[in-house]
Chains A and B, each alone.
Chain A
Amino acid sequence: MLAAWQGIAMLWAMPLLFPSPMDVWRVLIGLLANGEFFVHVGASLQRLAVGLIVGVPIGAALGCAMGRSWLVDSAFTPYVRMANAIPAIALIPFSLLWFGVTEFARYALLIYIIGLTVTINARHGVRQVPPIRLKASQTLGVTGLRAFFTVVIPSSFPSILSGIRTAIGLGVMVVVAAEMLGATSGLGYLIMQGRANYNPQLMFLGIIGLGLLSLALDRGFQVAIERFLPRWSVKRRV
């Protein structure tokens, strides 16, 4: 594949439009040497991490509340529906208007999209808890909050976990978009720099970096669940 890419690039001989892997490699070495590449990858990862650390608990709490109480559910459903219909990327100009080109604007966006995705999945998970499990726990004398923590939460865990996985994927999209439209660091910024300076190698590097990053995050998340939470492994049981 790499050979084919190099071959096409050499035949085409238009480095400004279609850089060869060697060119991209050279740019990467340069950025690795002065540490800049890690700075940008680190910036994107840090934003994602903040979004996850703040957004997941908020989403899980709201989703569980919506799944359990019809009052909370009816009150929040119109807002969740509306938020879900508007692509989060479209809110970037709005966040820039409110918060300016600040780190906070990007955190707010990521917390929003991750929180929203986890909310929807947690609500779904709580509602899907088989009634027989609740009845069984009732017969065993476990009710109320205790039942919520010992029966409902564990049963809805798979749904919450798959929500987090989806949220990571959407979070990558949003963080890149936010970095492209207003930031001075991150992989999205790298791509925009490539565009501004007419440096296609940089653009290719940013895109390849993103593909690898989201692949690694997705795989890493699955491996982490297998390893640390084998009870809720996402692997299909046949």
Chain B
Amino acid sequence: MSATSPGFGARLWIGVLSVAAGIVLWAIGGALWDDPTTLPSPLAVWKTAGDMALSGALLDAVLASLERIAAGYVVGAIAGIVAGLLLGGVQAIDDLLGPIFEFMKGIPPIALVPIMIMWLGIGELPKYLIVAYIVWVVVTVSVVTGVREIHKVRRRAGWSLGLSGPAIFLRIILPSAAPYLIAGLHSAVGFAYIALVSAELIASRSGVGFIIMDSRFSLKTSQMIVGLITLGVMGALSQLAFDFAVGRSRWLSRYRRH
């Protein structure tokens, strides 16, 4: 298919041209429309971004959101690994709780926001839990798949070589499931942002999601666009940071699948 594909340079140029064309079209559209609450010009958005960055409002929001992502992600990932190993590895637990998990994993995190607020108020805890919930679901699914995909031969080889139960767990099950775990942790980063935005749109007084929702009510559209772009940059950087961390760690990069 890619027999005639040109080099990286040409592709980059087309990409840059395409983005430049998009911005020009946006500017023309904004000028023609002439209604900054519907379509502010790129320049207005740029100015707003500068103001928000200088006043520190943007940094505060980013830090508030990052804290929620980090806390929720860590809790959710640990819970997901434990739950995934139990559900995938122990038949009795799977029989008992498997159907309930199947049902729970279909519940969008945003649907839980009102209940969490009712139970826990609008402090930080419900936001951590909403993020943790979706990370937990995503990681559990991937670890369960990982544990189930392990070839029986590997386990039997372990048994016949005289490994004990815990040794089989540590030396066969964990390393075999690790690639799935890493893939799950990777996609959980994106889902964590979905949950974060859900929680911040509905019930928050801080964070990037709050900026977006607040701009809707005050009709500050350029501020909303700055919030959206910030969110995109944060999401993309988090994914890169994750890949970088996995790539750097010699122990983890062994298990990465390309």
Residues of A whose CB lies within 8 Å of any CB of B are: 1, 17, 67-68, 70-71, 73-79, 81-82, 85-94, 96-98, 126-127, 129, 131, 134, 152, 169, 172-173, 176-177, 180-181, 187-188, 191-192, 194-195, 200, 203-204, 206-207, 210-215, 218
Question: Could you say which residues of chain B place their CB within 8 Å of the CB of A180?
Answer: 110-111, 113-114, 202
Contacts between the two chains (Cβ within 8 Å), count? 152
* Contact present for A207 and B110 (CB under 8 Å): no
Q: For the complex, would chain A's binding face be called helix, strand, loop or mixed by DSSP majority?
A: helix
**With A and B bound together, what is the CA distance between A191 and B219 in angstroms?**
26
> What is the CA–CA distance of A80 and B194 in the complex, to the nearest angstrom?
17
Interface contact A89-B103, CB-CB below 8 Å: no
Contact in complex: B224, A85 (CB < 8 Å) = no
Given contacts A85-B232, A194-B114, 19 further A-B contacts (CB under 8 A): A73-B11, A75-B15, A76-B18, A78-B18, A85-B231, A86-B229, A88-B194, A89-B197, A93-B213, A94-B212, A96-B216, A97-B216, A97-B219, A127-B1, A177-B198, A191-B111, A195-B118, A214-B108, A215-B102
CA A134 – CA B2 in complex, angstroms?
Answer: 11
Chain B residues with CB under 8 Å of A82's CB are 232
Asked whether B198 lies within 8 Å of A200 as measured between CB atoms, the reply is: no
Which of chain A's residues have a CB closer than 8 A to the CB of B140? none
Residues of B within 8 A of A93 (CB): 201, 212-213, 215-216, 224
A79 to B108, CA, bound (A): 26
A173 lies within 8 A of B38 (CB) = no
B165 at the interface (CB under 8 A from A): no
Q: Is the CB of B212 within 8 A of A90?
A: yes
Closest residue on chain A to residue B38 by CB atoms: A98
Alpha-carbon separation in the docked complex, A206 to B110 (Å): 12
B103: which A residues are within 8 A, CB to CB? Answer: 211-212, 215
List the B residue with the shortest CB-CB distance to A194: B114
Q: A90-B209, A93-B213 are in contact. Are A173 and B1 (CB under 8 A)?
A: no
Contacts A82-B232, A94-B224 given; indicate if A176 touches B216 (C-beta within 8 A): no
Q: Which residue of A lies closest to B10 (CB)?
A: A74
B106 at interface by CB-CB < 8 Å: yes
Residues of B with C-beta under 8 A to A152: 1
Instruction: Evaluate contact between B236 and A87: CB separation under 8 angstroms.
Output: no
**Complex Cα–Cα for A220 and B121 (A):** 37
Q: Which of A85, A97, A195 contacts B38 (CB 8 A)?
A: A97
Which residues of A lie under 8 Å from residue B212 when comparing CB positions?
90, 93-94
Name the CB-closest residue of B to A181.
B201
- Chain A: CB-nearest residue to B108: A173
Cβ-neighbour of A200 out of B13, B17, B118, B221 (below 8 A)? B118
Residues in B whose Cβ lies below 8 Å from that of A212: 103, 106
Query: Are B115 and A207 interface neighbours, CB within 8 A?
Result: yes
Q: A177-B198, A200-B115 are in contact. Are A211 and B106 (CB under 8 A)?
A: yes
B28 CB–A CB distance under 8 Å? no
Provide the residues of chain B in CB contact with A92, threshold 8 Å.
201
Chain A residues near B194 (CB, 8 Å)? 87-89, 173
Residues of A within 8 A of B109 (CB): 173
- Cβ-defined partner of B115 (8 Å) among A87, A91, A203: A203
- Which of A78, A126, A200 is B19 in contact with, Cβ under 8 Å? A78
**CB-based contact B37/A207 at 8 Å:** no
- Closest residue of chain B to A173 (Cβ to Cβ) is B108
Chain B nearest CB from A43 CB (Å) reads 15
Of the residues A88, A97, A207, contact of B107 by C-beta under 8 Å:
A207
Which B26-53 residues have C-beta < 8 A from chain A? 37-38
Q: Which residues of A contact B1 (CB under 8 A)?
A: 67-68, 126-127, 129, 131, 134, 152
Determine whether the beta carbon of A214 is less than 8 Å from that of B224: no
Please name all residues of chain B whose beta carbon is closer than 8 Å to the beta carbon of A90 when the two chains form the complex: 197, 201, 209, 212, 227-228, 231
Are A176 and B110 closer than 8 Å at their CB atoms?
Answer: yes
B221 engages A97 (CB within 8 Å): yes
Structural contact, B228 and A94, CB atoms closer than 8 A: yes
Q: Does B233 count as interface, using CB distance less than 8 angstroms?
A: yes
**Could you tell me if B118 and A17 are in contact, using CB atoms closer than 8 angstroms?**
yes
